[in-house]
Every structure is written in C-alpha cells, then in structure tokens.
Amino acid sequence: MDVVRTSVTDFDAAVADVLAETIAARPDAVLLLATGSTPIGGFRELVRRVGAGDVDARRIRVVQLDEYVGIPDDDRRSLYGWLEREVLAPLEVDEDRLLRFRVESADDAEAACATLDDGIGRLGGLDLALLGLGPNGHVGFNEPPCGPDAPTRVVALDPASVTSNARYWGGEEHVPRLSVTVGLGPILAARHVALVVQGDHKRGILRQTLEGPETPQVPASYLRRATRYTVVADEDALDGA
C-alpha cells in the first residue's frame, strides 16, 4: 500500500497525477471512476492538463462505478449525470468508450449488472479503480456488511448513505433507496486500486480502512488485498490516522 499524503490544497493535483500516470502508461486505459464530491477537483485538474496538452486522453475507456436505480437518464443527480458533466463531456469520451449502467427501471437492474461485468471482461479488466470512501466504509455502493468477493449487484442503500447523500437530493426522503454497484470482487481484480479521501470528517473511517481489521463492516478494509493499492489522502483526513 502506498499512502500519498497531501496538503489540503495539493489534493486535487495528486488525484489527477494518479489518473495521468495511468493514462501515460496505457493511453487506452480502462478507468473505473467514482463520482461524489471527493474526486471532482482531480477530474477538473485532469481536464485542465488535457486542455494544456500535457495529457492525451483521447483513447481512455471509462466504466461507471455505481448508479441509483429508477432515476431518469436526464436527471442531473444521477451518478451518470455527474460523470457526464465532469469527465465524459469535457474529455469527449463517446459512447463506444463508455461502459455504464442503464437502470431507469428496477426491472432492468439485474441484467444491467450482468452486462457491466461482461463488459469489463471484454475490455480486458480494469487498469485503475478510482474510489471514494463512504462515511460507513463503503466503496461504490458496496454497503456494509460486504465481503471481498461481492459481485456486481443491486444493493439497498445503507441508512448512513441515505443521510450523507441527502444534501444532493434536497432531503433524506428524496434519496433513492436502491442502487447498483460494481462489486468489491471485480474492484479487487483491478490492476491498480486508488482510494481518494479528503476532510477531517473521514478521519475515523479512514483509520479503520487503513489500520483496522479486515471486516465486512468496513468494506474498504479489503482494498488492502488489491494487487496495487494507492491511498491519496489530505492531511485533514490522515492526521491521527
């Protein structure tokens, strides 16, 4: 495990470094990308570097990590909406370089999970899984309890996730209760797993993730099993961790 400790201000650049290094090593890299607030600054920094001609992202392939079930495609709060705004549109990633969940209806959810896993296999696996850390130790929507072999699947949101996502939905009562997520199993099969964490509100769960026992109660604790594991964390998240 490599821990990249950054100042608060250098965090986004360090996240962008992980992405840029992956793309430099393999221009058609397959990137599994989290949304949420943590990686956004890193995505913007990557977009800036691409614009400046420092990174060539014309061949990257992008795989969606997770999605709410039952949200229309054009709803800006869908996780696809986040990905579209922050990564796909600015980097001009077109449909044939994108693998995503299509789960506007709950009836489609099981099939969408199988399609996504098949797609990862056809792409030859993941070069990088870039993950955020949930307040309850989730990665993607692998909610506790979750073992290291968990497949890509339909998951009911944990109450802690409903609470933490309420800010995006205008209150807990509006947060969708069902999600789909790439499983911890396929995530751990990635050639490189990077966990990005910022802020002192993540300090306790980061400490458990890095130093606590491997446990289904903290799904991120299993990331230590990855072939290559990098943690990018700012000093606020790491202090005392």
- Please state, in angstroms and rounded to a whole number, the distance separating the CA atoms of residues 135 and 149: 21
**Quick one: which segment of 120-128, 138-146, 170-178, 187-195 binds ligand F6R (CB under 6 A)?**
138-146
**Total of residues contacting ligand F6R (CB under 6 A):** 14
Site for ligand F6R in 45-74 (CB under 6 A): 65-66
- Please state, in angstroms and rounded to a whole number, the distance separating the CA atoms of residues 205 and 166: 19
Site for ligand F6R in 99-128 (CB under 6 A): none
Tokens encoding 79 = 């996780």
**Quick one: which segment of 68-76, 137-145, 150-158, 205-213 binds ligand F6R (CB under 6 A)?**
137-145
Structural contact between residues 238 and 3, judged by C-beta atoms closer than 8 angstroms:
yes
CB of 22 or CB of 80, closer to ligand F6R: 80
Q: What is the closest distance, in whole angstroms, from the C-beta atom of residue 40 to ligand F6R in the complex?
A: 8
Q: What is the closest distance, in whole angstroms, from the C-beta atom of residue 169 to ligand F6R in the complex?
A: 13
Q: What is the closest distance, in whole angstroms, from the C-beta atom of residue 239 to ligand F6R in the complex?
A: 18
Asked about 138 being catalytic, the answer comes back as yes
Asked about 66 being catalytic, the answer comes back as yes
What CA dihedral angle connects 134, 199, 91 and 81, to 10 degrees? 50
The arrangement of strands across the sheet holding 2-6 comes to: 2-6, 229-234, 193-197, 128-132, 30-33, 61-64, 98-99
- Burial (Cβ within 10 Å: 0-12, 13-18, ≥19) of residue 186: buried
Asked about 92 being catalytic, the answer comes back as no
Tokens encoding 175 = 């947060």
Sign of CA dihedral 18, 98, 222, 226: negative
CB of 52 or CB of 172, closer to ligand F6R: 172
- Asked whether position 42 contacts ligand F6R by CB under 6 A, the answer is no
- Please state, in angstroms and rounded to a whole number, the distance separating the CA atoms of residues 174 and 153: 22
- Asked whether position 38 contacts ligand F6R by CB under 6 A, the answer is yes
Asked about 136 being catalytic, the answer comes back as yes
Residue of the chain from 42, 70, 137, 140 that contacts ligand F6R (CB under 6 A): 140
- Please state, in angstroms and rounded to a whole number, the distance separating the CA atoms of residues 34 and 97: 17
Q: What is the closest distance, in whole angstroms, from the C-beta atom of residue 236 to ligand F6R in the complex?
A: 13
**Quick one: which segment of 30-38, 89-97, 120-128, 149-157 binds ligand F6R (CB under 6 A)?**
30-38
**Which residues are tagged catalytic?**
66, 136, 138, 143
Binding site for ligand F6R (CB under 6 A): 34-38, 65-66, 79, 132-134, 138-140
